[in-house]
Structure 1
């Protein structure tokens, strides 16, 4: 175990050795869950002797009354297989993860949230995939693949399967890079766990500018997929916990305020991504707007609660919801304005 509580986060992480994979476990107010999460990875590293390939970084975002020594004691059997540290002051999830990812020097990086865990035996498969992608002797394994992700099997705290998220296909699929695909598939990053990416390919500018957006994973997925292929793998590598206690106090005091903030941030993230990566009047514009509108409606309908609360949430973000529709009509006018004008001239002559 190597503790970094006494040095700054960035200075420490920049000194980590470059390996095949950085597994970053950001923690906040879930010390017991974080131990379970970390053990699910460290057991496999120790069993299969993978320490030369994987960095495990456990980083607490200044949880009240918490000390990194808790991890030192609870994970002492794993000795030098992980790094642990704590922010001196709370940064918030997005800024904390931003600093961690931007400091990563390994080939691939992934976030494993503190209430999830890695299924037994999965780490070997993950490293095999990274090796397959990273090999330079075959064009199919080139640097063109900037990220890969798997479905998120989401379980309730009682162990029952709630849903399967982020599964756009029923088979392995290579997603080509295009403006419409950026918008169509960026939602598959909204659950942090399960997405693997090359940190060196991330354009951090959009994320840095909108650091408080709750759907910040969409920013770095979009920046990678805008210029690189993304691979979907139909594998069950993670146990994702959903509908548990979430610390969203900074987003509001009530469930309505918190979900309104979530929906608003999601729509803003989509619009920002569309503005940055979808050129106006391009041949792909129609598809971009279609996927943007479809994703917006899907998110608004995803709220699991009373219908009247859902209606209020829709009203609270209605202005944002209409932007894709206005963009669609704008494209129609640009594309078919000449046709509309010619018909109007004929109508005027007839009158």
Structure 2
């Protein structure tokens, strides 16, 4: 008998507490959701860990999709997953927020519907969680609230495009502090690759700002402010990049979507800085330095119209003057660079003559 599709989320999605909840939120990618699920379920069967892993696949009201079709595609794994569909579209953040808020297991992770779990990764993940849970019993230890791995991003033809979210060359521990939340916030934009304790998430903060497209930064920050975060230099997940993304809610054109993402990332940094400001003046100065660096890195990366960027910065400056000064430094650098190039040219030209 196939898993019956649940049409809307009740008080819980029917999963009992295990060791890890893996959530696959899906929208307009039924085939990708099935492939992501298979990458997990095949290892659940292979390593006989059904008693340790919950897999939840939840569609965000894809037009014309009958989730019975997904159940049929996964019939070889009947009984090993939960499947459901929202009655109406909640958006990526809203869908994931509801699912994470219902997670009962010690750890939870998101596997998006265009990614998959690498072969042999699941037992290593479960072993790491076991170590952390044993570590919890040590009276002198600081709780580890999350761990993350680098994001290996591949093109659809299988070519490695880049590796992101790798702030260290070896396994490292990030201690909880406002400075570290800001300093390492860029590594938190990932969905796939972050394993975290749902019990530590500030859902009120997330709910209040769930329209922000960089919502992973928000729930990461609420965990990292009060607990250690572990970086593991492992290749556990395959992320697909530069593929078709259904971001229509963030803008009709690619230009509008990029502007929205740029604005939301800057806003997320502002929100985090405001919410977790340190009382220590020394820490505040350190936070300001890391915040400025994060702003400058993002401002430099933006490839859209300069006027649009100026308007985005002005809309947020009242909440963070540091953003304005970061923008000013970028603007001055853009003005000075051509002048410096001309100076170097005439200097060389004069030396030749």
Residues 328/250 of structure 1: CA separation in 2 closer, same or farther (3 Å cut):
closer
Q: Structure 2: which 5+ runs fail to align?
A: 326-353
Contact kept? 1:18, 1:105, Cα under 8 Å:
yes
Residues 142/3 of structure 1: CA separation in 2 closer, same or farther (3 Å cut):
farther
Distance in 2 (CA, whole Å) between partners of 1:329 and 1:79 is 55
Q: Which residue of 2 aligns with 1:348?
A: none
> Is 1:269 paired with 2:268?
yes
Distance in 1 (CA, whole Å) between partners of 2:324 and 2:112 is 40
Q: Structure 1: which 5+ runs fail to align?
A: 331-351
Q: Which residue of 1 aligns with 2:208?
A: 209
Q: Which runs of 4+ in 1 moved over 6 A?
A: none
Query: How much has 1:136 moved relative to structure 2?
Result: 4.4
Counterparts of residues 210-289 of structure 1 (less than 5 Å): 210-279=209-278, 282-289=281-288
Contact kept? 1:134, 1:143, Cα under 8 Å:
no
- Deviation string, structure 1 residues 101-153 (Cα, Å, up to 9, x no partner): 01101000000000000000000000000000110476399561000000000
Contact kept? 2:295, 2:323, Cα under 8 Å:
no
Distance in 2 (CA, whole Å) between partners of 1:252 and 1:88 is 23
- Deviation string, structure 1 residues 178-237 (Cα, Å, up to 9, x no partner): 110011112212120000000001111211111110000111100011010000000000
Q: Which residue of 2 aligns with 1:63?
A: 62
TM-score (norm 1): 0.87
Distance in 1 (CA, whole Å) between partners of 2:323 and 2:314 is 15
Residues 184/302 of structure 1: CA separation in 2 closer, same or farther (3 Å cut):
same
Q: How many residues in Structure 1 have an aligned counterpart in Structure 2?
A: 324
Contact kept? 1:268, 1:320, Cα under 8 Å:
no
> Is 1:314 paired with 2:309?
yes
Q: Which residue of 2 aligns with 1:72?
A: 71
Query: How much has 1:324 moved relative to structure 2?
Result: 8.3
Distance in 2 (CA, whole Å) between partners of 1:155 and 1:123 is 20
Contact kept? 1:10, 1:103, Cα under 8 Å:
no
Contact kept? 1:5, 1:68, Cα under 8 Å:
no
Query: How much has 1:320 moved relative to structure 2?
Result: 5.4
Query: How much has 1:286 moved relative to structure 2?
Result: 1.4
Query: How much has 1:322 moved relative to structure 2?
Result: 4.9
CA RMSD of aligned residues (A): 2.1
Query: How much has 1:280 moved relative to structure 2?
Result: 5.2
Describe the SS at the equivalent of 1:284: helix
Contact kept? 2:154, 2:241, Cα under 8 Å:
yes
Contact kept? 1:292, 1:324, Cα under 8 Å:
no
Residues 10/79 of structure 1: CA separation in 2 closer, same or farther (3 Å cut):
same
- Deviation string, structure 1 residues 28-49 (Cα, Å, up to 9, x no partner): 0001111111100000000111
